[in-house]
Amino acid sequence: MKTNTALFERAQRVIPGGVNSPVRAFRAVGGTPRFIARAQGAHLWDAEGTRYIDYVGSWGPMILGHGHPAVLDAVQQAATRGLSFGAPTEAEIELAEAIIALVPSVEQVRLVSSGTEAAMSAIRLARGATGRSKLIKFEGCYHGHADALLVKAGSGLATFGHPTSAGVPPEVVQHTLVLAYNHLAQLEAAFAEHGRELACVMIEPIAGNMNFVRTQLPYMKRLRELCTQHGALLVFDEVMTGFRVALGGAQSLYAKAIPGFAPDISVFGKVIGGGMPLAAFGTSRDIMRQLAPLGPVYQAGTLSGNPVATACGLATLREIAKPGFFAALAAKTQALVDGMCGAARDAGIAFSADCEGGMFGFFFAEQLPQHYGAVMATDAARFARFFHGMLERGVYLAPALYEAGFVSAAHDDADIAATVAATRETFRV
Ligand code: KE4
């Protein structure tokens, strides 16, 4: 039998860090990553045959659970018709129509292969449409690894960002201003100083890359007002929240709470690919007219709208759009969070958690953090111990305290009960 340790040693000889995406290496929690051999429903099995209840779900895409029959059937049928053509297909029209039908703020979409590509393209489109260069992002929000977005806050408020990664020249991020999430005074000051130069503001409407932090309603309302007032485009990065926290994404929640609310550009990924490489960005027909081949903003991709990925995404969207899907998913996620909080309370451990739809987060802190600094001030060592205690009890959580968790339609009451029981046992040690 191949062990996780042996596989990890072998992987590190031929792949940097042994992984194709850094967070998978367990560096934030220590230990050996599990090499997954197969998955079904809510469960994963690693190379050693150990079963886990999966709350990573490929970082969000697997909202139906693994191996959903309708999705597998659609993928297999699409594959037999051809893996890729580099030419338009009807399935791309159907997926675009399905996204547009579920997200009123979007009149047209462009399909791409990753969230990074979608976010990068959305920024280029916002810059092309406004003729402006500057953009605002928020500390703790992650929008993929395009150079302009690998940036951390400058030394002061209105100083522009510094690269967070080697290989990104400072001049590439000179137009990116990084603000603290939910910090109204900073937002007002940034717009007062740079409003007319801003092409866009990009935000995770619920920040899943800070585990789970909501944008406060007054803040979001003011952000929308300032963008409108200064002609900057509000870009919602819904790669994680789209079709995950609600059928219409996080923007549908804000639209309920703030009359007439809508972002200008939306970025999607994860769920819309159903586990295959597919993402998208969308906005009004008028702004999309700027994109090649119609307009001067170039954007392209060999596998954009790939027919097998499109079939996977379409089958997924059709399932989650069925009546009652999100009500059932949200109830399951709430039961999980309530159970974990109850276990922490009984154990006298400082713990807080929140959830929306099929997405949840938890913190070893009495209060839910409202921004990145508060998230990173939570007890990382405590989180790592909890992560491994749960892993040993067959529960696979995200291996980093700044990552969100995901429940699927395949998680049943027994899975939730087993997870809460594992939480109680882990808190006891
Ligand atoms: P991808 O390029 O990884 O498909 O998407 C980038 C991205 C964009 N926007 C948001 C809000 C995202 O969460 C992501 C990617 N999320 C991470 C998890 N936090 C993916 C996991 C990984 O990097 O391996």
CA–CA dist 199, 183 (Å, integer): 20
Residues with CB under 6 A from ligand 1: 21, 23, 59, 114-116, 119, 142-144, 204, 208-209, 237, 239-240, 269, 279, 403
- The residue from 52, 55, 142, 181 that is catalytic is 142
Residues 6+ apart with CB under 8 A from 82: 307
CA–CA dist 248, 237 (Å, integer): 13
Does residue 158 carry a pLDDT above 90?
no
Lookup: tokens for 216: 């406060």
Region 30-53: mean pLDDT is 98
In this structure, the residue with its CA closest to atom 21 of ligand 1 is: 59
Residue appearing with tokens 């042994």: 18
Does residue 156 carry a pLDDT above 80?
no
- Give me the pLDDT at residue 381, please: 93
**Which of 24, 114, 141, 239 has most ligand 1 atoms within 8 Å of its beta carbon, as the pocket-test mutant?**
239
Q: Of 129-133, 172-176, 302-306, which range is least confident? A: 172-176
Per-residue model confidence as pLDDT tens digits over 321-360: 999 999 999 999 999 999 999 999 999 999 999 999 999 9
- Give me the pLDDT at residue 155, please: 63
Nearest to 254 by CA among 284, 221, 299: 221
Region 85-90: mean pLDDT is 98
**Which of 20, 111, 143 has most ligand 1 atoms within 8 Å of its beta carbon, as the pocket-test mutant?**
143
Distance spanning both ends of the chain, measured CA to CA: 31
Residue appearing with tokens 């609310």: 261
Per-residue model confidence as pLDDT tens digits over 381-390: 999 999 999 9
- pLDDT band with cut points at 50, 70 and 90 for residue 62: very high
Long-range contacts of 16-19 (CB under 8 A, 24+ apart): none
In this structure, the residue with its CA closest to atom 9 of ligand 1 is: 143
- Give me the pLDDT at residue 307, please: 98
Region 241-259: mean pLDDT is 98
Residue 119 CA to ligand 1 center (angstroms) comes to 10
- Give me the pLDDT at residue 1, please: 73
- pLDDT band with cut points at 50, 70 and 90 for residue 154: low
- Give me the pLDDT at residue 159, please: 61
- pLDDT band with cut points at 50, 70 and 90 for residue 429: confident
Provide the CB-side half-sphere exposure for 217 (13 A, CA): 7
- Give me the pLDDT at residue 40, please: 98
Give the sign of the dihedral formed by CA 413, CA 418, CA 419, CA 425.
Answer: positive
250-257 and 217-230 helices, crossing angle to 10°: 90
Nearest to 32 by CA among 11, 14, 61, 1: 11
CA–CA dist 147, 85 (Å, integer): 30
Per-residue model confidence as pLDDT tens digits over 164-218: 899 999 999 999 999 999 999 999 999 999 999 999 999 999 999 999 999 999 9
Lookup: tokens for 409: 């339609």
